[in-house]
Amino acid sequence: MISEYGIFAIVLNRKARLAFSGRKNFWSRLVIDKAEIERVKRANDLVTIIRSRGVKLVRKGKQFVGLCPFHLDHEPSLIVDPAKQLWNCLGACKEGGDVYRFVMKADSVDFREAHRRLGGIEA
Ligand SMILES: [Zn+2]
């Protein structure tokens, strides 16, 4: 039989674990500085990064278009805006985002690894 103290300890333990895991997530998000992320975005041209992953991009007006690497694409549905440094797919997968999102998808890595691959440093 568990004593009153035992139950109290179990509840306290669960609360402590929840608090700790919450704090862990909080800190891991803060490890990469926001300014450093902005620096990395400025340092990596999106068109160059997408091309480096084997995607052929052709200029069409102010944008670049190419075959989307994230779904079976027959007509170019990947649109890249070099001014905004954003990409998106108008085809089946509807993916899109910034240079981080592209590296995460293309290389199947998490944000931290994408940051590293883009030359980012962790605080
Ligand atoms: Zn797509």
- CATH number, domain of 53, equals 3.90.580.10
Q: Give whole-number Cα distances, 9 to 15, 22, 51, in Å.
A: 10, 20, 56
Residue 95 falls within a domain, yes or no? yes
Residue 44 and residue 9 share a domain: no
Residue 42 and residue 12 share a domain: no
Residue 77 alpha carbon to ligand 1 centre in Å? 7
Residue 112 and residue 54 share a domain: yes
Residue 89 alpha carbon to ligand 1 centre in Å? 5
Residue 123 falls within a domain, yes or no? no
Residue 109 alpha carbon to ligand 1 centre in Å? 18
Q: What is the pLDDT of residues 38-64, one digit of tens each?
A: 999 999 999 999 999 999 999 999 999
Residue 25 and residue 37 share a domain: no
- Is the predicted pLDDT of residue 3 greater than 90, yes or no? no
How many Å apart are CA 79 and CA 58, to the nearest integer?
A: 10
Residue 122 falls within a domain, yes or no? no
Which pairs count as long-range contacts for 48-55, CB under 8 Å and 24+ apart, including other chains? 49/99, 49/102, 49/103, 49/118, 50/78, 50/80, 50/87, 50/102, 50/106, 53/102, 53/103, 53/106, 53/107
Q: What is the pLDDT of residues 26-37, one digit of tens each?
A: 555 557 899 999
Residue 101 alpha carbon to ligand 1 centre in Å? 13
pTM for this one? 0.75
